[in-house]
Amino acid sequence: MRIELIFLLVLLQYPRHLNAAECRETPMDLVFMLDGSGSITNVNWELMKSWVKLVAENYDLGGLTQIGVVQFSHWFSNENTQPYLKTEIQLGKLKTKAQLKAAVDEISIHGFTTYTAHAINKTVNEDFMRSDRFYDASVKKVIILFTDGRSTDRNDLLLSAKYARSNGITIFAVGAGGYVMEELQVI
């Protein structure tokens, strides 16, 4: 009945000489990736969603910050469409905190497996790269990934995390429930 944060946000890795107010004045594309697998309890699912809404409270959604939400669970190797690697809220689509909160409240957990590596790749390719700000070097690009760290595709996890970082995206891993620390550290 808890979600454990295994990191200190450290102002999303902004330079240490900046204070919190200055950080909020830096353009940022922020995508929350939510593990919607069957191993996430309903209680932890609701806690993850609450945390997304709480963090979003600190940002100007109508201006400098664009927020998106991706839910991930199963991946089909023989299909072009992936209904369980789903963009729930398109990056930058919602412009107010009230809109974001309402949209997050509507997200239902998928269940199934946990294809974390495939979800990271999807988020980079389909969410960040499609943003009109992707190639703007002044925009900080961040993923906050919530998972219990029990990836079905754990063998691909390191390469996917490196791929995201090679595209200028910072990833923070947050452990939900009975998380697997080794996978969170890889991410």
**Amino acid present at 21:** A
Q: What per-residue confidence (pLDDT) applies to 122?
A: 97
Cα of 174 vs its chain's centroid, Å: 10
Instruction: Grade residue 178 by pLDDT with cuts at 50, 70 and 90.
Output: confident
Question: Quick check: pTM over 0.95?
Answer: no
Q: What per-residue confidence (pLDDT) applies to 15?
A: 40
Instruction: Grade residue 180 by pLDDT with cuts at 50, 70 and 90.
Output: confident
Taking only the tens place, the pLDDT of each residue in 21-80 is 555 678 999 999 999 999 998 998 999 999 999 999 888 887 899 999 999 999 998 888
Q: What per-residue confidence (pLDDT) applies to 20?
A: 52
Q: What per-residue confidence (pLDDT) applies to 23?
A: 54
Instruction: Grade residue 84 by pLDDT with cuts at 50, 70 and 90.
Output: very high
Q: Which residue has the tokens 């072009």?
A: 80
Phi and psi angles of residue 70, each rounded to the nearest 5 degrees, phi first: -120, 130
The token duo for 126 is 């389909």
**DSSP labels for 158-170?**
HHHHHHHHHTTEE
Q: What per-residue confidence (pLDDT) applies to 117?
A: 97
Taking only the tens place, the pLDDT of each residue in 95-137 is 999 999 999 999 999 999 999 999 999 999 999 999 999 999 9
Which structural domains are found in the chain, ordered by start?
1-6+42-64+82-155+169-177 (3.40.50.410)
In angstroms, the Cα distances linking 16 to 11, 22, 54, 122, 130 are 9, 11, 23, 31, 30
Cα–Cα distance measured from residue 168 to residue 150, given in angstroms and rounded to the nearest whole number: 25
Cα–Cα distance measured from residue 112 to residue 118, given in angstroms and rounded to the nearest whole number: 14
The token duo for 53 is 């809404």
* Closest C-alpha among 127, 122, 172 to residue 147: 172
Instruction: Grade residue 149 by pLDDT with cuts at 50, 70 and 90.
Output: confident
Q: Which residue has the tokens 């998380």?
A: 179
Judge whether 160 and 117 are in contact, CB under 8 Å.
Answer: yes
